[in-house]
Structure 1
Amino acid sequence: MKKWIITGVTAVAAIILLAGSLFIVREGEYKVVFKFGEAVRIHSNPGIKLKVPFIETVSSLPKYQKISDTPESTIITRDKKPIKVDNYTVWRINDPQAFLRSLRTVSAAESRIGDAVYNAVRRKLSEIDYGSIISENSSRGDLNDEVTKEVSDIVQRQGYGVEVIDVRIKRTDLPEENKQSVYNRMISDRRSIAAGYLSEGDEESRKITSNADRQAQELIAQAEADSKKIIAEGEQEAARIYNEAYGKDAEFYKLYRTLESYVTTFQGEPVIMLPVNSPYTEILLGK
C-alpha cells in the first residue's frame, strides 16, 4: 500500500513538473523566457517549447501590427490658429531583444511612439496655414507620409526594436471658442474668391463675344465681296455668250431685241403714236 502511495505521489509530481516545463508559442506572438528577471530566450516560431520549472517564467509580446491612438492635442498652425489634432499610429515589434532592452512593455512603447508622433505633427502643422490643412486640395496625404518617415527614423535611431508603419491624422478641428470667427472669415474669403471668378468670367465672356462678332462681320463682308465678284463674273460670262450667239446673225439679233422692246413698251396697254413708215412700226405691223 505504501508503495502505491509513493508511486502516485511521484506521478503527480512528474505531471506538475512536466506541465510547468511546457509552454505554447502561438502564431502572432513572441514568447520571452525570463530567468531571475532577465530575458534569456525569445521564441518566435509557433509550437510547444520547454523551460525550467519554478526558475524560468514566460511572458508574451505581440508579433502582429498594433494600432495606437494618440490622445487629442492642441497645436498652433503657422497663421496662429489653435487646432485640435487626433491621429493614430500603426506599428509592430520587429526586434524583441532590442525592445526588451529599451522599452520592455507595450505601454512604454506606445508612450514613446506617442511622444514622437506629437512632436512631429506639431512641427509639421506649425509650418502650414489652417486653411491649407482643411481645404479640398490639402496636402494632408503628403503630411502623413512625412510624419511617418520622421517618426520611423526617430524610433530606429533610438533602437527601440519597433517599426512604425504608418501615422495618419484622423481629424483636425478648431476649439469651440474659435470656430465661429474662423468660419465667418472663411465665408468672407470664399465670397471674395467667388466674386473674383465671376468678374473674370464676365470679362472672358465679353472677350469671346467681341471676338465672335468681329469674326462674323469679317465672314459676312468676305461673303458679300465673294458674292459680288461671282455675280460680276457671271454677268460678264453671260454677255460674252450673248455677244457670241448674236454675232452669228446680226439681223436676227436686231429683230429679237426689237421684239423684246415691244414687251416693255406695251405693258399696261398704253396709247403710242408712231409713224406708219418707221421700221419699228413696220415690224409691229408685219410688213
Structure 2
Amino acid sequence: MPRLLLVAQETGGVGKSTVTRGLAEAVPDAAILEIEAVPRLTEFATARGSNEPGRVQHFAMRATREAIEASGGKAARAEFDRVINAIYTATIPSLIDIGANTAASLVGILKEEAPTLKQDGIELGLVVVVAAEAAALADAGKLLQGSREWAGARFVVANGVRGAVDPVILKQVVGDATVTHLRGFEFEDVTREILTAGQLRGIGQLDRASLVKQTSPAQAGRILRDLTAFRLAVMEAVEPAALWLVGEDAASPVTVGTRKGGARHGNNA
C-alpha cells in the first residue's frame, strides 16, 4: 500500500516549500507531485514525458480565485483531474506539494475520493505548516478539520521563522495531530543567498575552501555552521512525517543511508 503525504497551507510564505524539501531529502526515493503555478522545486529533476523521467511531476494551476468562485469550484475541480489521476496510479511513497490558495480545494476533493483510494490500497497523510500569523493558524485549523475523515496521519510543523507560534492557540488548532517545531534562524545576507541558490540539498555539497575564497575563513566557518544547523533543524522537524511516509514506527532509530527509501536526517551536511 503506497502512502502519499500532502504538504499544505493556504497562506503563502510560511515555509511550506522548506518543509517539502526537507521531506524530499529525508525520503530520497519518494516521488514528488508539485501543484503550483510555476515550478519551484527546481533542484530536483522534473519529468518531461515518458522519454524523460524525473522525480517531480509538475501540475500547473491556472484557475484564478475569481474563476473558482464564479464557477462554484468547478474550475479548480477540472484542474485537479490530472492530480487525482496521478494519485490513483501511485505505486511508491510520494509527496504532494500544494501551492497556496489551492490546498482547501484539493482537501475537499480528496474527501470524496478517499473511500475509493483506500479500496485501491492508497493511504493519504497530511502535513500542515503554520507560522505565527493569525491567517496561517486559521487556515491550518480548517485544513486539519477538513482532512480528519480521510487522512491516515496528520502532522503540523510550527515554523518559528517569523517568531514563536503561540502555544495556546497552536494547541487549539492542531487537535490530535503530531506537532514538531522548526525554530527561527537569523542568516547573514550572503548565507541567505547561498541557501536560496542551492536549497537544502546544496548544503551538504558546500566546500569550505570555495567559501573562504568568496568570503573569509571566519565567515566561511560561520556560514557552514549556520546552514548545517538549519538543515538539521528542518530534518528533525519533518522526521515523524517522513517515518510515516515510509511505513516506519516513529520510535524506530533512523540511520543515515542505511535503508533505501527510508528517512534520513541530520546527516553529513
- Structure 2-normalised TM-score? 0.18
- Structure showing greater Rg: 1
Q: Pick the structure with more helix per residue.
A: 1
Q: Which has the higher contact order (CA 8 A, sep 6+)?
A: 2
Bigger fraction of residues in strand = 1
